[in-house]
Amino acid sequence: MNDYIKVRVDFQPAPTADVTDLLAAFLADEGFESFEPDASGLNAYVKAELFDAESPSRAISMLPFDGYTASVATEHIEGRDWNAEWERNYFKPIVIADKAVIHASFHTDVPTAPYDIVIDPKMAFGTGHHSTTSLIVSRLLDMNLEGRSVIDMGTGTGILAILAAMRGASRVDAIEIDEAAWLNACDNVRLNGHDEINVILGDASALDGVCPADLLLANINRNIITGDMAEYVKAVKKGGQLIFSGFYVQDIPVVRACAERLGLTFVDYNENLNWVSLLFNA
């Protein structure tokens, strides 16, 4: 089945970016996959078979903002060519730090950069446009990955795993829990000529079958990261590093406290539009 439910949330008065970003994060916890914020609110998409009619109201009720009223409308969207939808409506080439260009195979006028990454996203997360993806991309561009092993948890489109391989990682394991996203990541790995990347369908339990790595990436959300962090720590070599993203500046104390209880050492964070990525040493 390739059908989706589109949920439209409109706010009065017009929302700030913090409102729509946080709503997207809460809806992601409810199983929503893709988001299109605008000046009035947000479009959110979830697979039809996973849709819970109460989930938009639950997400809205969790927003810590006063003075807004929200209206919700839903629309059933029949299965279609999602690449064509992205081409028409959203995904455009993006250049990060003048070093990496991310684009789809259907794009024609593509800027040049040392790392040219082809991503046909379908409905999976991770085109580089979202702050959390670009934050980790920027980190990977500044790190020496030559000969290092990398695990990418919640790989989505596979963009981070592909960049790690391009940057010289000796082994890359990419793990994704959603089967459609896993298939999309497999396709994107092939598109970029990096079939050596091991794309695994599974959750944190799949780490038991993976050799400990020098670097682990987890761009998911705060609750999943803190819930699975003990498994992440076991999957990293002593002296290795971990990068966590998918949450906000205000979530740093919670994530940091969890990491430090598990013996990790906080290094720093980078930030964009209130989203952050955190770097830890094992």
Domain of residue 68, CATH code: 3.30.70.100
178 within 8 A of 126, measured Cβ to Cβ: no
In this predicted structure, what is the pLDDT of residue 223? 86
**Strand 100-103 relative to strand 115-118, pairing:** parallel
- In-domain check, residue 105: no
Structural domain ending residue among the three candidates 56, 80, 104: 80
In this predicted structure, what is the pLDDT of residue 179? 84
Q: Which residue type sits at 192?
A: N
Provide the mean pLDDT of the chain.
Answer: 90
247 SS3 class: strand
- In-domain check, residue 121: no
Instruction: Tabulate helix, strand, coil % of the chain (nearest 5).
Output: 35, 30, 35
Whole-model pTM: value is: 0.73
83 SS3 class: helix
- The per-residue pLDDT for range 31-51, each reduced to its tens digit, is 888 788 888 999 998 989 999
Stretch 5-9: mean pLDDT: 95
The two most distant CA atoms of the chain are separated, in Å, by 52
Q: Helices (DSSP H) in 143-279: which residue ranges?
A: 159-166, 179-191, 222-234, 252-261
Strand 100-103: give its sheet, edge to edge: 94-96, 100-103, 115-118
Stretch 162-188: mean pLDDT: 93
In this predicted structure, what is the pLDDT of residue 171? 97
In this predicted structure, what is the pLDDT of residue 211? 94
Count of structural domains within the chain: 2
In this predicted structure, what is the pLDDT of residue 93? 82
Residue 123 has pLDDT above 60, yes or no: no
My answer on whether 52 and 182 are in the same domain is no
Axis-axis angle for helices 159-166, 131-142 (nearest 10): 10
Stretch 1-16: mean pLDDT: 89
- The per-residue pLDDT for range 91-112, each reduced to its tens digit, is 678 888 899 999 888 777 888 9
In this predicted structure, what is the pLDDT of residue 54? 95
In this predicted structure, what is the pLDDT of residue 274? 84
Residue 83 has pLDDT above 90, yes or no: no
In this predicted structure, what is the pLDDT of residue 268? 97
In this predicted structure, what is the pLDDT of residue 78? 83
> Confidence class of residue 119 from pLDDT cuts 50, 70 and 90?
confident
| Domain interval for residue 184 | 139-281
Most confident of 53-57, 99-103, 245-249: 53-57
My answer on whether 275 and 163 are in the same domain is yes
| pLDDT above 70: percentage of residues in the chain | 92
CATH number at residue 267: 3.40.50.150
The residues, any chain, with a CB within 8 Å of residue 172's CB and separated by 6 or more, are 149, 150, 151, 152, 161, 164, 165, 194, 196, 197, 198
> Confidence class of residue 180 from pLDDT cuts 50, 70 and 90?
confident
My answer on whether 146 and 232 are in the same domain is yes
My answer on whether 153 and 263 are in the same domain is yes
Give the separation between CA 65 and CA 15, rounded to whole angstroms: 10
- In-domain check, residue 113: no
